[in-house]
Chains A and B, each alone.
Chain A
Amino acid sequence: MHETAVANAVPAKRRKSRLDAGEGRTAFFFLLPSLIGVMLFLVFPIIASVVLSFTNWKLLGQPAFVGFANYTRLFTADPQFWPVLRNTLFFTAEYLVLNIIISLGLAVWISSLKMGQRWFRVIFFLPTFTPGIAVAIVWMLIFAPDGFFDFVMSSLSIHIPSMLTDQTLAMQAVIIVSLWAGVGYNTVLFNAALDMVPANYLEAARIDGASAWDRFWKIRLPLISPTLFFGTVMTAITSLQVFDQIYVMTRGGPGNATATLGYAIYQRGFQNFQMGYASAIAWVMFAMIMALTAFQFWLQRKWVHYDN
């Protein structure tokens, strides 16, 4: 209706406008299913999450606005919050660094092979395509007291406490599992980027007498640095949200040793039904994701090389 009125008001452009109006209507119907879904399940929840974080809603009864009380409580009164924040940062830092080093190492190693590259890629990628819960359950058995891991350690005469029940080692167990499950995607990503480095660059450098080490640091690494950057940012975002492994293997324990922000959201929201408080934790997580991403974008100017 509106479109026709507008079209009549501008007679010179009438024909074109009518066509456009028709297209606009078609576009509206094409977009409608997506728009309804996005409004209902994405935009509205985002707004609701902000609003909730300023209430004390406990699922039952009437919520009341409490201003910044949830946030104040988080930062000043909740004895569990700082350990949870520290655990999350610790997990992300160690996991991120190890993931990038291992996957880059594997990618370079795979690309040095003359045969069977694709089979090695499939093998390292397999955990990516399997349920994280199944993965976590097997590792739980491996790390169980007197399980396979303890068996190997005692065979090597290394005496350490059982991983999952020890306050300081439990997080290391979670990181090992996460690495096993998560390294494959980046390995394939970096391997694909290495495949795209033009062979004649490397050949020219070789003829000029550059060592394999120099060719890696001065040619291949700079050329794949945009992909490396992309992989690092995506891995950081997902690792700040870690949940599945922790839920299955430790439930945040022993003590609070492996409770992360993702686990805290679940625990506060769906076990204690503190929906408002849990929403506040979710926004702290969002702030951390944004801050870390912004930091990485700032840092990229120092090490990422773009061709153009």
Chain B
Amino acid sequence: MTTRAKAKADAQRTLALDILNHGALALVALLFLFPFFWMVSNAVRSNAEVLAIPVRILPNVYEWGNFAKAWSELPFGRFFLNSMIVSVSVTVITVVVSCLSGYAFARLKFPGRDQLLMAYLGTLMIPGIMLIIPLFLIVNNLGMVNTFQGVILPVAFGTFGSFLLRQFFLSIPLELEEAARIDGASRLRILVSIIVPLSMPAIGLLSLFTFIGQWNNFLWPLIVMTGSDNATLPVGLTYFQTQQGTAWNFIMAGAALSMIPGVILAIVLQKLIYNSIALNAGMGGR
């Protein structure tokens, strides 16, 4: 009797501890989510109420129309579209260029290949912010200030994609392409119809992180897009700060809207994101 009763008491105690453990972390998570709540809570009140003292956690009057008003106050739809154009274009160029170069590094023999690959890896150590000035001067000289080309091209040729896809291509068995080669398929044909379809996990990952990186990018569009109509979302958000004081409620509404794509992707693709980060963890930087 005693052992069974003891086991039962133990099980009950672990269960209680488990519930406590989950509950405590849930509390921390809720605290962590507070800024998101605060954003929405302030987006749906009048600007006077945002600034009212003392602070109110929930609005007195809910003004859900603020989202629509913020959208029309500044050319927000335009900012959204601009961000979309930039993020999608950079992603497409990055994927195409990285597929081509990744394949060359993984499968083709040419003199100096390994040295070139090392040089590519070396460029990954250069911090982006350092190159801002010469990049701006290049864009300026090419007459691309305030153009989409100016925002898109300088960030679309990173070397990380070439390296990532090379690593993935190496894991695809050679035999799969050999049959096609004997049939006389060109290398480009092999890349497009055999390698790329098999590499969708890696290409998806590269696309996801490139897209989000550009969607959230601030400094580069801030410098290149000087006219207000050409601004991307993050740059456009800062415009609420200067025009006739700060329209806090509209900024909050705009900020909340700008977060939607990232939040949706993070939730929907959580497994892919976890796996990709786990890959990093597994390699441990080796």
The residues of A with any CB-CB pair to B shorter than 8 Å are 20, 23-24, 26-28, 30-31, 33-38, 40-46, 48-49, 52, 106, 109-110, 112-116, 118, 120-126, 128-135, 137-139, 141-142, 146-148, 151, 180, 185, 188-190, 192-193, 195-196, 224, 226-227, 229-230, 233, 237, 240-241, 243-244, 247-248, 262, 265-266, 269-270, 275, 278-279, 282-283, 285-286, 289-290, 293, 306
Contact = CB atoms under 8 A, between A and B. Distances in A.
A110 B21 CA distance: 10
Contact of B262 (A113, A121, A129): A129
Contact of B100 (A30, A124, A137, A279): A30
A269 B132 contact: yes
25 contacts: A23-B108, A24-B110, A30-B100, A34-B162, A36-B157, A41-B154, A42-B123, A45-B135, A45-B138, A52-B134, A112-B21, A113-B25, A122-B266, A133-B216, A139-B35, A146-B53, A190-B281, A192-B277, A237-B127, A240-B127, A244-B219, A248-B238, A265-B133, A278-B133, A290-B125
Contacts of B151: none
Interchain residue pairs A-B with the least CB separation, the first 10: A37-B157, A230-B285, A226-B284, A192-B278, A134-B255, A45-B134, A129-B262, A34-B101, A48-B134, A27-B108
Interface stretch (B36-44, B59-67, B197-205): B36-44
Interface of B: 18, 21-22, 25, 28-29, 32-33, 35-36, 38-39, 42, 50, 53-55, 96-98, 100-101, 103-104, 108-111, 113, 116, 120, 123, 125-138, 153-157, 159, 162, 187, 212, 215-216, 218-219, 222-223, 233-235, 237-238, 248, 251-252, 254-256, 258-259, 262-263, 265-267, 270-271, 273-274, 277-278, 280-286
Contacts of B100: 30-31, 33-34
B274 A121 contact: yes
Contacts of A289: 125, 127
Given A31-B100, A34-B159, 4 more contacts: A131-B218, A131-B255, A193-B282, A224-B281
Nearest to A185: B277
A155 to B, nearest CB: 9
Contact of A46 (B111, B131, B285): B131
Contact of A126 (B55, B126, B159, B266): B266
A282 B37 CA distance: 38
Nearest to A114: B18
Contacts of A262: 129
Contacts of B187: 26, 30
B36 A126 contact: yes
Contacts of A248: 238
B59 to A, nearest CB: 14
A229 B285 contact: yes
A60 B267 CA distance: 48
Nearest to B223: A270
Contacts of A244: 218-219
Interface of B is mostly: helix
A279 B21 contact: no
A278 B137 CA distance: 13
Contacts of B155: 41
A167 B133 CA distance: 30
Contact of B38 (A131, A142, A233, A241): A142
Given A112-B21, A192-B278, A196-B282, A118 B126 contact: no
A123 B284 contact: no
A41 B33 CA distance: 39
B258 A134 contact: yes
Contacts of B136: 269-270
A285 B130 contact: yes
A188 B133 contact: no
Nearest to A187: B277
A95 B151 CA distance: 30
